[in-house]
Amino acid sequence: MALLDFLKKIEPDKKESPFLHTLYDGFFTFAYTPDTVTKAGGVHVRDGMDLKRLMVHVVLVLQLCYVFGSLNIGHQHFSALGLYPDFFDAFHLKIGFGLIQLIPIFVVTHLVGLGIEFWYAAKKGHAIEEGFLVSGALIPLIMPPDVPLLWLALAIAFAVIIGKEAFGGTGMNILNIALLARVFIFFAYPTEMAGDTMINGKEVWVAGLHFDPDLLNLAEPIKQQVSTYGWTHGLLDGLFNAFGWRTFGEGGMAVADSFTGATPLALAKTGGWEAVTAVYSPSQMWWGTLPGSIGESCKPFIIVGAVALVLMKVASWRVMVSMAIGCAVTGMMMNGLSAGTDFLYLQVPWYYHFYMGSFLFAMAFMATDPVTAASTNRGKWIYGFFIGSVGLIIRVMNPAYPEGWMLAILFMNVFAPLIDHYVLESNMSKRLKRA
């Protein structure tokens, strides 16, 4: 109680310092549940779960993806150098390298996103909206590990201002904010994000590699990709030396001849399922030990998060199940049409589309966004089914962009209100006929 009394005493005046009051209110309500309810006799529901705590549940279930993503960033980096092939070998180096890559992405995401939220809240004179807690946790997980931070900042600013604040803030947006940030980057810089070209001489899907023909003076382009370490790695080396562990070391190391930074989706686009399995096994795709977005790779952890959200009644199981059905049905149809064609992507077994790319992550954490998804039960079945179907069509039929769930979800976000409208109209029509 002493801490609560102290916090109430230092509360800034709302009129004299609107920004400071908004900032104070955001942190105060994050630490304490609101103690105000409707007056006696009013119609209200009192529950210990307010919006901030609802959002925190989603953030908590994403932590498994963060842990695995950090480790996988390091694993892909050292695999490219031909070092430590076992996933848990040199665990401290891999997790340390991954955190050095991930923490700046996380910090920039929240500084830009929350900074804009705080400014808008102060200008409007109301409390900080909690919606960016989830968006801020999701955005780093759907980005490449070496995404330029300036591009990330621009994408987040665009998503928050144009996608949410322009519509009235949290709860008013019609598009998923995290996906809108990803759309901005992927369409503003399509060849770089597809991995077709390098960004400022750097790989995008495998962190810490760059193009430097002078460093090793090697003629072969694949060997001109090298890795060097900075002062942050040097700080960790001092700690690792104290324990007698392996260190990052100094100087440059050439990429191994056998290294390929291609993702399974990029391989399937050009060579079908045979091209994918020539590089990655189904087991690797299931466990996520391959290049890709930071948090979308480990399927078991994503499934654990999805089940947790359903059990906590935060996410809709109807959307998840119907999305899986839509993908499966469309995939079977494509397999049936693949006979006698040279379009190899059609021949990818339908069930392996669940393994490749971000289907499960999109199903669990993106399509189930309660603000942008359909709200009626029947509407959720329709909404999820079309995401699964349209997403797979985009993935297979669009040669420029082999991952379709982002576009499919945003497309269905726009149609979600219309779906609910016709579901409600149908229900009212049936009741009128019975009456």
**What is the average pLDDT across 220-234?**
66
Sheet with 253-254: list strands edge to edge. 210-211, 225-227, 253-254
Q: pLDDT category, 215, cuts 50, 70, 90? A: very low
Contacts of residue 274, defined as CB under 8 A and 6 or more positions apart, other chains included, come to: 344
Q: Select from 429, 161, 145, 400 the least CA-distant residue to 293.
A: 145
Looking at the predicted structure, is the pLDDT value of residue 89 above 60? Answer: yes
Mind spelling out the 3-state secondary structure of 317-350?
Answer: HHHHHHHHHHHHHHHHHHHHHCCCCCCHHHHCCH
What percent of the chain has a predicted confidence (pLDDT) above 70?
Answer: 76
For 251-298, write each residue's pLDDT tens digit. 666 666 666 667 788 788 878 888 888 888 999 999 999 888 899 889
Whether 206 contacts 291, CB under 8 Å? yes
Model-level pTM?
A: 0.85
Using alpha carbons only, how large is the chain's radius of gyration in Å?
24
Q: Select from 53, 51, 57 the least CA-distant residue to 365.
A: 57
Q: Select from 189, 227, 222, 233 the least CA-distant residue to 210.
A: 227
Whether 288 contacts 299, CB under 8 Å? yes
Contacts of residue 420, defined as CB under 8 A and 6 or more positions apart, other chains included, come to: 374, 375, 376, 379
Distance CA 241, CA 244 (A): 5
* CA–CA distances in Å: residue 343 to residues 70, 348, 373, 416: 36, 10, 33, 33
Helix axes 377-397, 405-434, angle to 10 degrees: 150
Contacts of residue 38, defined as CB under 8 A and 6 or more positions apart, other chains included, come to: 44
Q: pLDDT category, 33, cuts 50, 70, 90? A: low
Q: What is the model's pLDDT at position 159?
A: 94
Q: Which one of 198-202, 311-315, 352-356, 359-363 scores highest in mean pLDDT?
A: 359-363
> Over the chain, what is the mean pLDDT?
82
Terminal Cα-to-Cα distance of the chain (whole angstroms): 57
Distance CA 318, CA 375 (A): 11
Q: What is the model's pLDDT at position 15?
A: 62
Instruction: Give 254's strand partners.
Output: 226
Q: What is the model's pLDDT at position 172?
A: 81
Q: What is the model's pLDDT at position 63?
A: 93
Q: What is the model's pLDDT at position 201?
A: 47
Looking at the predicted structure, is the pLDDT value of residue 121 above 70? Answer: yes
Looking at the predicted structure, is the pLDDT value of residue 330 above 90? Answer: yes
Whether 279 contacts 413, CB under 8 Å? no
Looking at the predicted structure, is the pLDDT value of residue 34 above 80? Answer: no
Distance CA 320, CA 187 (A): 27
For 373-427, write each residue's pLDDT tens digit. 999 999 999 999 999 999 999 988 886 666 788 899 999 999 999 999 999 999 8
Looking at the predicted structure, is the pLDDT value of residue 40 above 70? Answer: no
Looking at the predicted structure, is the pLDDT value of residue 241 above 50? Answer: yes
Looking at the predicted structure, is the pLDDT value of residue 219 above 60? Answer: no
Q: What is the model's pLDDT at position 48?
A: 52
Least confident segment among 39-48, 80-89, 109-118, 356-365: 39-48
Q: What is the model's pLDDT at position 218?
A: 45
Q: Select from 340, 348, 376, 224 the least CA-distant residue to 282.
A: 348
Q: pLDDT category, 230, cuts 50, 70, 90? A: confident
Distance CA 422, CA 435 (A): 20
One-letter amino acid for residue 279 of the chain = V
Residue whose structure tokens are 């990029």: 266
Q: What is the model's pLDDT at position 216?
A: 43
Better-predicted residue by pLDDT, 39 or 429: 429
- Count the alpha carbons within 13 Å of 409 in the hemisphere toward its beta carbon: 31
Q: What is the model's pLDDT at position 310?
A: 93
What percent of the chain has a predicted confidence (pLDDT) above 90?
Answer: 40
Q: pLDDT category, 325, cuts 50, 70, 90? A: very high
Looking at the predicted structure, is the pLDDT value of residue 319 above 80? Answer: yes
Compute φ and ψ for 29, nearest 5 degrees: -75, -15
Q: pLDDT category, 178, cuts 50, 70, 90? A: very high
Q: What is the model's pLDDT at position 137?
A: 92
Looking at the predicted structure, is the pLDDT value of residue 333 above 90? Answer: yes
